[in-house]
Amino acid sequence: MGRFIIRRVIGMIAVLFAISVLVFAIFNVIPNSDPALRLAGRNQTPEQIAAIRAQWGFDQPLYVQYAKTMEKVFSGSLVSYSTQTNVQQEIINGIPATFSLAVGAALLWMTVAVVVGLFTAVRAGQFSDRFLTVLALIGISMPVFWIGALMAYYLGFKWHIFPNGGYVPFTKSPVQWFYHLVLPWTALSLLFIGVYSRLLRSNVLDTINDDYVRTARAKGLSERNVLIRHVLRNSLIPIITLWGLDFAAVIGGGAILTETVFDLQGVGQYAAESVAQLDIPPVLAIVMFGAFFVVFMNTVVDIVYAALDPRIRLS
Amino acid sequence: MNDRKPILEVRDLAVSFATDEGVVQAVDSVSFDLHEGEVLAVVGESGSGKSVTAMTLLGLTRTSNVRFSGTAHYRGTELIRATDEQLRSIRGKEIAMIFQDAMAALNPVQRVGKQIVEQIQAHEQISDADARDRAVELLERVGIPRARERVDNYPHEFSGGMRQRVMIALALSCDPHVLIADEPTTALDVTIQAQILERFRELRAQTQAALILVTHDLGVVADIADRVAVMYAGRIVEYGSLDDVFYDPRHPYTWGLLGSITRMDRPRPKRLPTIAGVPPSLSNRPEGCHLRPRCPHEFAACTEIPELEVRGPAGPGVVEHTDRCWLTYERKQALREITPGEIGLGAKELV
């Protein structure tokens, strides 16, 4: 297991390097125009552009430009030239909201999907299975900006059942934190619940006919233990992988729409606002950190996967 | 031996499945007794209903599209109509099952020790440590070297033969009174088969457990069985003690089976004899004797189903030798010898 982890971590470092080169190329090299001009944003002055060009090394070879860009991104000295704010600080300010949204939603969608998936698999073909299948398809089909906006409008703005957007830090008031996040969690989870419960249902239906499930019954285990210890455990393995990746994607910017609709002031909303302002430095940093987080979670998922399925470690 | 009360009494067992292609009659009027310490071999081709019979005894064929009739009495419990809770307490503890493909039959992501412990704890109040010690003991008993280390291995870390031993250890973990082994050696190569059979023989000597051995391998049967039930298309077509069935086979299907094994003590035939045709579809079985379309000896009476009854002189065996064939005993004696001393079904011209 130790060697397996080391191998995966070395692989991760290689991928991270490749990603950093790619991001650098996309932002600074491929658009065939002066990168200093684009970085400066809307309210630019010739002096500012000249200063940016010198600072980022745009008059020097590409590898110097790459090194300087990475230095800026990772040293925390990146600034948005439009708003004159430190990008790292803004991202750090947004992380608690984004993290709260992602963790809560991930737990919510996984829990509900396991219950719904197992239930529909056990009742396969019956009315309750078909009914929940239709619901799941509706959940998959509804875009989050639409269902989110509906929820925010009716449940928040019009009927005042829930707060009308915004984020309250957990440290300030756990109750308000929870209260403010209920709608965003739900809106973000609907799609995933639909997808995950369908996936789990088909995995369970495949697994339930496996020979070792028959063995488990022949051993005299109760039907509940057969379902949970043998069927569910084995059906969940591929879904855990997906879960890790989706969670990473949500943190890395996948919740842009949800954050914006509910005004959560997280990293995703910061990204959306920066894009709207054509403010390149924050977008550069968020893309880089998002990609890094996805790669990191991918490695974590690989390691967890190997722990869950011992057959993986051999190959 | 005969006057003892059997541990398992199966009477007129029938199992059918409703499918899109119609009703599949997998098992039909199957009756047999099993006594303590006895080995009953159930033989037949694939699809003859032998596995379904075995699994039905443990309620493992209970699905929404299945229909049962008949009875199976195990020590005062009727297994076919038992409640799930009654069955649960019998499964693994009283009657345990050994499956064919241990690779598929063991949970791939659970340590083998844990799989054994789980079964013990399903039936007994016992601490984790004690259950684990017993798992180690069991693995040692079935001949797994370094059992204390290997108890924490996963199934894929064992060789095929060792995996089958794990399966046997699992089945033995609660000292069952009846063991059902469904093709336990089929997935193994011949040398490993021999080792596993040796294991069964030792177990026979050590425990009083009765064994139902489901197989299509007559070599295995000759090695270990006391009694033999030959199944064809869901029915037992011949039943008797090992010697009776092997030396005085009375059903043409048994002749065919016996004729199709290679024998070291005979000159090698150019082609191994086979039984012409294919087993009938279980959703549309032939009228009367199910072997009729494949049997070269069929005659007018065969359109009626023959009962399983004694149709010849008593042999040396301790149980009645019964079969389902309308031919007279004298005709059978004449027809089954293809060449002097050699048994076979004979050729059938297929139209």
Name the residue of chain A whose CA is nearest to B97's CA. A218
Instruction: Point out the residue among A220, A230, A308 whose CB comes nearest to the CB of B123.
Output: A220
Are B171 and B97 contacting, i.e. CB atoms less than 8 angstroms apart?
yes
All residues of chain A having their beta carbon less than 8 Å from the beta carbon of residue B51 are none
Task: Name the average pLDDT for chain B.
Answer: 89
Provide the shortest C-alpha distance from residue B114 to chain A (in Å): 11
Q: Which two tokens stand for residue B36?
A: 């303590």
All residues of chain B having their beta carbon less than 8 Å from the beta carbon of residue A214 are 55, 60, 99, 105
- Looking at residue B3, its pLDDT comes to 56
Mark yes or no for CB contact B109/A218 under 8 Å.
no
Mark yes or no for CB contact B96/A308 under 8 Å.
no
CB atoms near residue A218 (< 10 Å): 24
Provide the shortest C-alpha distance from residue B61 to chain A (in Å): 10
All residues of chain B having their beta carbon less than 8 Å from the beta carbon of residue A229 are 118
Provide the shortest C-alpha distance from residue B221 to chain A (in Å): 24
All residues of chain A having their beta carbon less than 8 Å from the beta carbon of residue B105 are 211-212, 214-215
- Looking at residue B132, its pLDDT comes to 96
What string of pLDDT tens digits covers the 315 residues of chain A?
788 889 889 999 999 999 999 989 988 888 877 888 888 887 788 888 888 888 888 888 999 999 999 998 888 888 888 888 999 999 999 999 999 999 999 999 999 999 999 999 998 888 999 999 999 888 888 888 888 889 988 998 888 888 888 899 999 999 999 999 999 999 999 999 999 999 999 999 999 999 999 999 999 999 999 999 999 999 999 899 899 989 988 887 778 889 999 999 999 999 999 988 888 899 999 988 888 888 999 889 888 888 888 887 655
- Looking at residue B351, its pLDDT comes to 46
Q: Which two tokens stand for residue A89?
A: 């600080």
A→B contacts (Cβ < 8 Å), by residue, are 210-212, 214-223, 225, 229-230, 233-234, 237, 308-311, 314
Name the residue of chain B whose CA is nearest to A236's CA. B109
Q: 3-state DSSP call for residue A223? A: helix
Strand-pair category, B39-43 with B227-232: parallel
Q: Tens digit of pLDDT for each residue in B243-275?
A: 999 999 999 999 999 888 777 777 777 777 788
Q: Residue B223 pairs with which residues in a beta bridge? A: none
Q: How confident is the model at residue B17 (pLDDT cuts 50, 70, 90)?
A: very high
H or E stretch including B70? strand B66-74
User: Mutate which of A212, A222, A304 to disrupt the B interface (most B C-beta within 10 Å)?
Assistant: A212
Q: Answer whether residue B1 shows pLDDT above 70.
A: no
Name the residue of chain A whose CA is nearest to B91's CA. A220
Are B61 and B47 contacting, i.e. CB atoms less than 8 angstroms apart?
no
Name the residue of chain B whose CA is nearest to A235's CA. B109
Q: Cα(A93)–Cα(B218) distance, rounded to whole angstroms?
A: 76
Q: Cα(B98)–Cα(B215) distance, rounded to whole angstroms?
A: 12
